[in-house]
Amino acid sequence: MRDRVLTLEGTMDHDTLQGGEGEDMIAGNWGDDLISGGEGNDWIDGEGGDDVLEGGPGDDSLLGGDGDNTLEGGPGNDTLMAEYGLDTLEGGPGADILLGGGDADVFAYGEGSDDGQMDRIEDFNPDERDVIYLGELLAAGGYEGEGSVESAQGYLRMEGTVLLVDRDGGGDGFVPLVDLGMEVSLEDLLAGGNLVLRAEDFPLLDDKAGQ
């Protein structure tokens, strides 16, 4: 079990596991589990099954394991690792690291940390039909648009292959958000008319995904 001493371990059935206020180490085993870390810097591994992992307050590490999982970091600077399956990763408040697996994953950006740091997606891959949701991140900075290029220009910018964001829309505090792996214009990026970035919504990435 990855050289860790577990605080809680699930069974082969569908379990609900709840950590305490300390630093818990929880493994779901098989079954479709609901696992909550509670307060503290927790380590949670869903292992098999379609699991929901909730880090709670603290700097947590969530591993999806096999199955189609939902990983919710909660408050704190969390690390979310999808591993296998069609997973959804939601960082929550804080500067989180989101790592997808080998299948089509959904990345939902949180509002970032109080000192202006943002979530980071380490492996967005249009070949795997990954999807990025930007709505909550921009709304936290006061954005009220619907994803048009005109309304988003103060918040989003492309530099080479990297998408940058300015959380308050002032246009003078851009930080890297995700490396898309190829150059694409902001116009093409927002061609879907919303803040949900899918490969099929912008032709260049859709062409790359289909190769």
For position 203, what pLDDT does the model report?
Answer: 52
Per-residue pLDDT at 177 exceeds 90: no
Mean per-residue pLDDT of the chain: 85
For position 32, what pLDDT does the model report?
Answer: 97
Q: pLDDT band for position 70 (50/70/90)?
A: very high
Q: pLDDT band for position 143 (50/70/90)?
A: confident
Q: Choose between 4 and 190: higher pLDDT.
A: 190
Render pLDDT for 189-207 as a digit per residue (tens, 0 to 9): 887 777 888 766 655 555 5
Looking at domain 8-210, does it have CATH number 1.20.120?
no
Looking at the DSSP bridge assignments, the partners of residue 80 are: 62, 98
For position 134, what pLDDT does the model report?
Answer: 84
Would you list the domain boundaries of the chain? 8-210
Buried-state track 70-83, b at ≥16 Cβ within 10 A, e below 16: bbbbbbbbbbbbbb
79, 95 in Cβ contact below 8 A?
A: no
Highest averaged pLDDT of the listed ranges 62-66, 92-96, 130-134: 62-66
**What are the helix (H) ranges across 45-160?**
135-140, 149-152
Mean pLDDT, residues 88-107 taken together: 90
**What are the helix (H) ranges across the chain?**
135-140, 149-152, 186-189, 203-210
Helix, strand, coil percent values for the chain (each to nearest 5): 15, 25, 60
Place of tokens 């085993």: 29
